[in-house]
Structure 1
């Protein structure tokens, strides 16, 4: 379980302007493959009401390969005063709280610490808002920027106050599987067990006891090219990995010639280095890992051109340097179990094929 912490600090200066925009941004702990990744919550006051204001709340996922999977995001915060939420469009509170002091017109939510979730697709238009109502599946920015944003609108009232002043909420918390790790500002929790039921997630009994296995298989070694097969297997009976992402770092990714069965996008974190790629399933073909075990897998092959000045298959060079599945870094095997391959002799290479084809060398650690 990845757990991160975020505290905005209370805005103590009262604001009495007609339009106010606040952005709470969190940069996840430094990741060399995504140095600028962050999640931003924007609190935008659109207009004033007799006892409060109307705000548009927007969540942007600017992380390149970490997304929020089903059942989606949950956004919460703590009010600075005794604010209540009269109405919500595009999202809804998970609990109403104690609204007993109100008679007749009852607020949507009276909790000091409200929690909101996205609405499902297909809700009536009068309940929708821009970029709302997708059930919470918030894509990674690198995978699909158009679906890496979610918004909703709130009508906020300040109990006992009628002047146009506002204090910003504090202690923003974003909950959702696959959102990242080690942030200093935004709280992100990955807890499939809590969302799927009591107890630990149910895994198929394997020797590695990991929910996902990534298998890299060196298939063929041509004179100017080499061919690799990548397979991802799901061993978690309770988890459907929807719109998964696979990120790998390898020195030869600057010469990727063709990728089959997966969508591929280079991730160039630094302008002079192109050694990292993001892979994800093709829509309606292999974009989900929906079952555990023998048939719960997706796979692809890729063709890479050799750089004759630097290329070698010696001492583990054929395997990636880093691998992430859904933003979680994979656990590599010990260095002494890597197979050692010849550099050029095709005949000798074939003698190693049986070893390579059965060598599952990457296990995801969650």
Structure 2
């Protein structure tokens, strides 16, 4: 305070203002994904031809994220037109509202809104309304798992727009929901026109004009309720550490749970069916202490001389959803020495170059790439064999358990570290055994002399 008193009033006020602004300028670490720092969704807008009053463009979304899918009910894309553009027609997608097109006579545009909202068409759309990479209900897989299905496209015919590179104005204020909030999109940037190679590879065509929009994900902006949790156990301790209580929600009081279903519910099938008709994507979970749709269990199974083994089990407690193309991301320092993996695919993620401590795991096609809804078949599992690095390996202080776990891009809640199964202290056990032995010998000696 003496420092502020020694300054003129104006200077002290200015310093205080700068200090307060700097405090509010820091971004939350949750707004940055440390396991996929370069992941983004890039929207490429290619003008492929001119029309009498505008242009035809192909809009393509690339999910360049390593493990975060866009899941059902899919993406929703929006923007604001720079001028008074309208959408005459679309292929592979549609706007959710037409808007006020009353000033048009004869041909009516597909959409007249200043800020249209676009959604993907559903599977089964007639072929004359499709283009390549469309019509998947807005679902896009991650680039790290399957590049072939990490793309979504649609075609749009824009009117009341410019008809040359100099008169076209790029849209602004792009928004992306996938399906909920969490993505922030930057401004459209004009780039070199995209080149297209024909199927026979003998001719290359070029877009008239191309601009890109980059959208990044932030867990801080998404503000999602946790959707998964982690439980742990080990061979060296009988304790099974469950998911933290109320991780994803709490059961309602009373006999009528309302927000969950008992697995022993006598009319379980009808309850699930009724819920699915009313809420297609709303989870209906099994009543548990954690109330999460997904639980990952990490069990330290065996210890060998040069290796150690872990069993990973993913259980679906959601009666209303199965998970296709699921993936699991685990961070652990021993992934640098992963020797063998059973029944899962594996990819090393190295967001920071030489540090190889993060793995992405997913199911094998046609075998366990589909995680069924809650029930007897609602789980997948694998075993991981690690080679020991004697300079770092230990079972002490929870070292054998993962640092972070993500399921389908969502951060799973870990148990508190102080609850981890502890390694028995061999020295303590020996001391207790020795004490018992000494006491037994003393009592035996006392009884012996007493009987003489």
Aligned to 1:264: 346
Kindly indicate whether the alpha-carbon contact (under 8 Å) linking 1:259 and 1:300 is maintained by their aligned counterparts in 2. yes
C-alpha change, 1:198 and 1:33, in structure 2 (3 Å) is: closer
CA distances 1:51-71 after superposition (whole Å, capped 9, x unpaired):
111112111111111011123
Q: Under a length normalisation based on structure 2, what TM-score does the superposition of the two structures give?
A: 0.63
Q: Which runs of 5+ in 2 are unaligned?
A: 1-29, 187-214, 228-258, 260-275, 431-452
Aligned to 2:63: 61
Q: Under a length normalisation based on structure 1, what TM-score does the superposition of the two structures give?
A: 0.77
CA distance in 2, matches of 1:44, 1:51: 17
Kindly indicate whether the alpha-carbon contact (under 8 Å) linking 1:251 and 1:275 is maintained by their aligned counterparts in 2. yes
Confirm or deny that 1:340 pairs with 2:422: yes
C-alpha displacement of 1:211: 1.8
Aligned to 2:386: 304
Kindly indicate whether the alpha-carbon contact (under 8 Å) linking 2:175 and 2:183 is maintained by their aligned counterparts in 1. no
C-alpha change, 1:212 and 1:115, in structure 2 (3 Å) is: same
Aligned to 1:155: 157
Q: Which has the larger radius of gyration?
A: 2
Aligned to 1:132: 134
Instruction: Select the structure that is richer in helix.
Output: 2
CA distance in 2, matches of 1:318, 1:53: 58
CA distances 1:278-305 after superposition (whole Å, capped 9, x unpaired):
0112222222223125542111111111
CA distances 1:31-73 after superposition (whole Å, capped 9, x unpaired):
2211111111122222221111111211111111101112322
C-alpha change, 1:182 and 1:311, in structure 2 (3 Å) is: farther
Kindly indicate whether the alpha-carbon contact (under 8 Å) linking 1:29 and 1:182 is maintained by their aligned counterparts in 2. no
CA distance in 2, matches of 1:290, 1:198: 16
RMSD over aligned Cα atoms = 3.1
Confirm or deny that 1:34 pairs with 2:36: yes
CA distance in 2, matches of 1:103, 1:309: 78
Aligned to 1:171: 173
Confirm or deny that 1:203 pairs with 2:285: yes
C-alpha change, 1:344 and 1:32, in structure 2 (3 Å) is: farther
Confirm or deny that 1:216 pairs with 2:329: no
C-alpha displacement of 1:272: 0.8
CA distances 1:97-146 after superposition (whole Å, capped 9, x unpaired):
22222222111222222222223345444333232233322111111122
CA distances 1:265-284 after superposition (whole Å, capped 9, x unpaired):
11111221111000112222
CA distance in 2, matches of 1:293, 1:213: 13
Deviates more, 1:234-243 or 1:36-45: 234-243
Aligned to 2:108: 106
Aligned to 1:48: 50
Aligned to 2:332: 250
Kindly indicate whether the alpha-carbon contact (under 8 Å) linking 1:265 and 1:278 is maintained by their aligned counterparts in 2. yes
C-alpha change, 1:87 and 1:198, in structure 2 (3 Å) is: closer
CA distance in 1, matches of 2:108, 2:72: 31
Higher relative contact order (CA 8 A, sep 6+): 1
Kindly indicate whether the alpha-carbon contact (under 8 Å) linking 2:50 and 2:163 is maintained by their aligned counterparts in 1. no
